[in-house]
Amino acid sequence: MGKTTNEAVATRVISQTTDLSARKRHGRAVNAVADFLRSQLRVPNVYIEPSGVNLSRIDVLAADAAGSGDIHAVEVKLLPAPLTQAAMKTFIDQIKKVPAHYKYFALNKNATSISIGAQLFSGDGIGRVGLLFISESGEVYPTVELAIKPERFRIDASELAQIERFLSKAKPDMYVRL
């Protein structure tokens, strides 16, 4: 017996969502990370792909402007193959340069099986990059889990002033009214 019209449409829709382009998969992952920061970590102001000074590499910026003033920055990478040790070091070194109190590297859960522990710490030991794992399953909304908790980095006062100028002008993409 053949499929009904509704079943055929549903099959086409599911097929279309499971064959997403890399750009759309990345966008869904960025949105899931932004939602994770807002709901799980309770950071009220979230900016997706901010365009401020020193923020061009960042996919998600979250700021607790009404509370502690902490700034969280996340770089999202969905990779087609597992990372090498050298590639992981390059990505981590890039996120360490971002002016934020808490820095995260988010990648698909199956993208690494290498040891990265010592690479996550800043040179002076004050600060550790956090690691977020993203799980995708076709049309289901991606899930985000905190694999390694970040530790607070220092921020140079002039870089913090630039971030604060950006935050005072930009409107968050997601926010919680306090």
User: 38 φ, ψ to 5°?
Assistant: -70, -50
Here the CATH number for the domain that contains residue 161 is 3.40.1350
d(C-alpha 114, C-alpha 9), whole Å:
42
* Residue 4: inside a domain: no
Give the pLDDT band (50/70/90) at residue 19: confident
- Counting the structural domains of the chain, the total is 1
Alpha-carbon distances of 71 from 4, 75, 153, rounded to whole Å = 51, 14, 10
Full domain range(s) for residue 79:
20-175
* Residue 2: inside a domain: no
* Residue 51: inside a domain: yes
Q: Which of 94, 20, 32 is nearest to 60 (CA)?
A: 32
Residue with tokens 């003033």: 69
**What is the separation, in whole angstroms, between the first and last Cα of the chain?**
56
d(C-alpha 84, C-alpha 155), whole Å:
29
d(C-alpha 59, C-alpha 26), whole Å:
10
pLDDT digits (tens, 9 = 90+) for 30-77: 999 999 988 888 888 899 999 876 777 899 999 886 556 899 999 999
Residue 17: what pLDDT? 46
* Residue 8: inside a domain: no
* Residue 7: inside a domain: no
